C-alpha cells in the first residue's frame, strides 16, 4: 500500500483538501496518509518533520487552488515557507509528485515557483478534482491511478544539480617587454618621490601643492532593515481585522505559516503585528502566537487603527458581560469554508459552570453545530469542544479558569459530503448560556 503525503495551503484549498484527505484515508488507511501540520508533535522542528514525512512517502500530492501560485510567488524566496519545503523536498528526493488542481487552480509558471524547481515542477502532468457533483467521480479516478502498481516504478525527473563555478587564478606571461615596462615604472616613481620629498627622503614636503583641497572621510551611514517576517508558533492562530480580540477574525493560520510584517501596535505586553494575509487582505496577529525575525527589525508603528467591524465571511464579535450568566446568541449559515460566531467574556477567578446550547431543530441528523470555549490567544487550549447533532438542546459541565475567553459556535456536518446536501437548513439560530 503506498504512503501518501498531501501538501496544501489552508488559505487556498483547506476545505476540499480535507475532503480529499478523508477519501484517501478510506482507500489507503489512516496510517498511510499524512496531510497537516496538525499531525506534527509539539516541540518538533516542523521543517525537519516535514522532510522526514516526505522521505517516508511514496507519493506526494500538491493541492493547487486558485491562490496557490500567487501565494507561492510572494514567498518563493522564503526558505522557511512550509509549502516551499514540501515542494522542494519531494522533487529533491525524486518522489512521485502529482499536482492536483482544485477550485479553479492552474499549473504555475516558472516565475511562480522557487528557482530550484522551476525547470521540473511546472511541466508535471496534473490531475483535476472538481467540486460537487464531480468530486466523487474525480476522486475515484485519482484513487484508481494511485493504486496502479506501475506508478511507483516511474522514474521522476531529477532536479538539476547546482552549478559550482571554480575560480582559477589568471597567469600573465612574463616577457622581456613586461620587464622593461616594470623597470621604467620604478625609475619614474623614484624621480617623483625625489621631487616631492625635498632634500630629505623621510621629511615631509616643505611646500603644499597649489590648489590642493584637504580630503576628509565620507560619513558612513548604517541602515537597519525594517523588513520582518512573523512565523506562527502555535497550532492555530487568529488573524483579525484590528489589533485586539474585540476585532473579527479574518482568517486562521497554522503552525509554521509566515507573513510579512507591515506595521505594529501596542506595547511589549500586548503587541500586535499588521501582516499581509494569505487572502490578500491585511490582518493583525498577536505577538504571543508568533515569532518575529529578525527580532531587531525596525517596524513602523501603525498610525491609523481601524474601527471594530466584521471581517470577510465572519460575524462581528459580540462582547458579553463578565458577570454570570453569560449569554451568546445569533445564527450561522451553511457556507464553505465554515463561518462562525464568536462571543467574548472574562472572569477574575476559576469558575465551575454549566454550559447549555439551544438551536433550531433540523430534520437531517447530519446537520449540527460545534461549540467551543477556549482561552483567547491560545485557540488550541479548549475547555470544551463538542459537536451537537439531532437535538435542539444540549448541556454539559465546564470549568473555566480566570482570564479572557471566547465562545465559538459554527455550523457542523457529520461528513464532508453533507455540505452538498439540500436537506440541511441554510441558517441555524442558536443561543448559548453559561451559568
pLDDT grade, residue 63 (50/70/90)?
very high
Top pLDDT among 415 and 103 is at 103
β-partners of residue 221 are: none
Is 3.40.50.10140 the CATH number for 4-153? yes
CB 358 within 8 A of CB 431: yes
pLDDT grade, residue 177 (50/70/90)?
low
DSSP 239-306: EESSSSTTSPEEEEEETT-EEEEEEEEEETTEEEEEEE-TTSSEEEEEGGGEEEESTT---PBPS--P
> How confident is the prediction for the chain on average, in pLDDT?
74
pTM, rounded to two decimals: 0.44
pLDDT grade, residue 74 (50/70/90)?
confident
Query: For position 79, what pLDDT does the model report?
Result: 72
d(CA 192, CA 29): 88
* Radius of gyration of the chain, Cα coordinates, nearest whole angstrom: 31
Query: For position 296, what pLDDT does the model report?
Result: 56
Stretch among 92-96, 108-112, 121-125, 295-299 having the lowest mean pLDDT: 295-299
Tell me: pLDDT of 314 over 60.
Answer: no
Number of H helices, E strands in the chain: 6, 21
Tell me: pLDDT of 167 over 60.
Answer: no
Q: Nine-digit cell at 83?
A: 509549502
Tell me: pLDDT of 213 over 60.
Answer: no
Query: For position 4, what pLDDT does the model report?
Result: 93
Share of the chain above pLDDT 70, in %: 70
Tell me: pLDDT of 380 over 90.
Answer: no
**CATH number for the domain running over 229-293:** 2.30.30.40
Query: For position 60, what pLDDT does the model report?
Result: 93
Cell 482561552 belongs to 375
Tell me: pLDDT of 415 over 50.
Answer: no
Top pLDDT among 389 and 19 is at 19
CB environment 309-339: b (16+ within 10 A), e (fewer): eebebbbbbbebeeeeebbbebebebeeebb
Other C-beta atoms closer than 10 Å to the C-beta of 415 total 10
Q: Which helix (H) or strand (E) holds 344?
A: strand 340-347
Fold for 318-434, please state it: Jelly Rolls (2.60.120)
pLDDT grade, residue 64 (50/70/90)?
very high
Closest CA to 295 of 266, 257, 261, 254: 261
Top pLDDT among 101 and 258 is at 101
Tell me: pLDDT of 171 over 50.
Answer: no
Query: For position 114, what pLDDT does the model report?
Result: 85
Query: For position 420, what pLDDT does the model report?
Result: 47
Distances (CA, A) of 275 to 78, 234, 241, 244, 366: 16, 17, 11, 14, 38
**What is the average pLDDT across 8-21?**
86
d(CA 15, CA 251): 13
Stretch among 6-10, 42-46, 272-276, 327-331 having the lowest mean pLDDT: 42-46
Residue boundaries of the structural domains of the chain: 4-153, 229-293, 318-434
Amino acid at each position: 500500500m503506498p504512503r501518501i503525503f498531501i501538501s496544501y495551503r489552508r488559505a487556498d484549498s483547506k476545505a476540499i483538501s480535507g475532503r480529499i484527505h478523508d477519501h484517501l484515508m478510506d482507500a489507503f488507511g489512516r496510517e498511510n496518509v499524512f496531510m497537516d501540520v496538525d499531525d506534527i508533535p509539539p516541540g518538533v522542528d516542523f521543517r525537519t518533520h516535514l522532510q522526514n514525512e516526505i522521505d517516508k512517502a511514496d507519493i506526494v500530492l500538491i493541492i493547487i487552488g486558485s491562490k496557490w501560485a500567487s501565494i507561492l510567488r510572494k514567498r518563493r524566496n522564503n526558505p522557511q515557507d512550509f509549502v516551499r519545503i514540501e515542494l522542494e523536498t519531494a522533487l529533491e528526493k525524486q518522489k512521485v509528485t502529482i499536482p492536483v488542481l482544485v477550485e479553479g487552480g492552474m499549473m504555475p509558471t516558472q516565475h511562480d515557483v522557487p528557482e530550484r524547481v522551476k525547470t521540473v515542477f511546472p511541466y508535471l502532468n496534473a490531475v483535476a478534482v472538481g467540486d460537487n457533483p464531480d468530486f466523487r467521480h474525480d476522486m475515484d479516478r485519482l484513487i484508481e491511478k494511485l493504486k496502479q502498481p506501475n506508478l511507483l516504478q516511474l522514474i521522476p525527473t531529477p532536479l538539476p544539480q547546482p552549478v559550482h563555478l571554480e575560480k582559477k587564478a589568471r597567469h600573465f606571461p612574463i616577457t622581456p617587454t613586461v620587464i622593461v615596462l616594470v623597470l621604467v615604472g620604478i625609475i619614474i616613481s623614484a624621480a617623483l618621490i625625489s621631487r616631492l620629498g625635498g632634500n630629505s627622503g623621510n621629511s615631509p614636503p616643505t611646500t603644499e601643492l597649489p590648489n590642493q583641497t584637504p580630503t576628509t572621510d565620507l560619513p558612513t551611514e548604517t541602515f537597519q532593515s525594517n523588513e520582518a517576517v512573523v512565523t506562527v508558533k502555535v497550532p492555530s492562530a487568529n488573524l483579525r481585522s484590528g489589533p485586539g480580540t474585540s476585532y473579527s477574525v479574518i482568517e486562521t493560520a497554522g503552525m509554521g505559516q509566515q507573513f510579512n510584517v507591515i506595521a505594529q501596535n501596542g506595547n511589549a505586553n500586548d503587541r500586535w503585528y499588521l501582516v499581509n494575509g494569505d487572502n490578500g487582505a491585511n490582518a493583525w496577529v498577536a505577538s504571543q502566537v508568533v515569532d518575529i525575525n529578525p527580532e531587531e527589525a525596525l517596524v513602523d508603528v501603525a498610525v491609523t487603527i481601524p474601527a471594530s467591524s466584521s471581517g470577510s465571511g465572519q460575524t462581528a464579535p459580540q462582547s458579553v458581560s463578565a458577570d454570570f450568566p453569560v449569554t451568546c446568541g445569533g445564527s450561522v449559515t451553511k457556507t464553505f469554508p465554515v463561518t462562525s460566531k464568536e462571543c467574548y467574556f472574562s472572569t477574575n477567578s476559576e469558575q465551575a459552570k454549566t454550559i447549555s446550547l439551544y438551536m433550531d431543530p433540523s430534520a437531517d441528523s447530519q446537520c449540527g453545530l460545534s461549540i467551543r470555549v477556549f482561552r483567547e490567544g491560545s485557540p488550541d487550549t479548549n475547555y470544551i469542544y463538542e459537536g451537537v447533532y439531532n437535538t435542539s438542546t444540549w448541556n454539559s459541565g465546564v470549568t473555566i479558569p480566570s482570564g479572557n475567553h471566547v465562545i465559538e459556535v459554527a455550523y457542523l456536518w457529520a461528513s464532508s459530503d453533507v455540505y452538498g446536501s439540500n436537506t440541511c437548513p441554510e441558517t441555524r439560530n442558536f443561543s448559548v448560556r453559561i451559568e
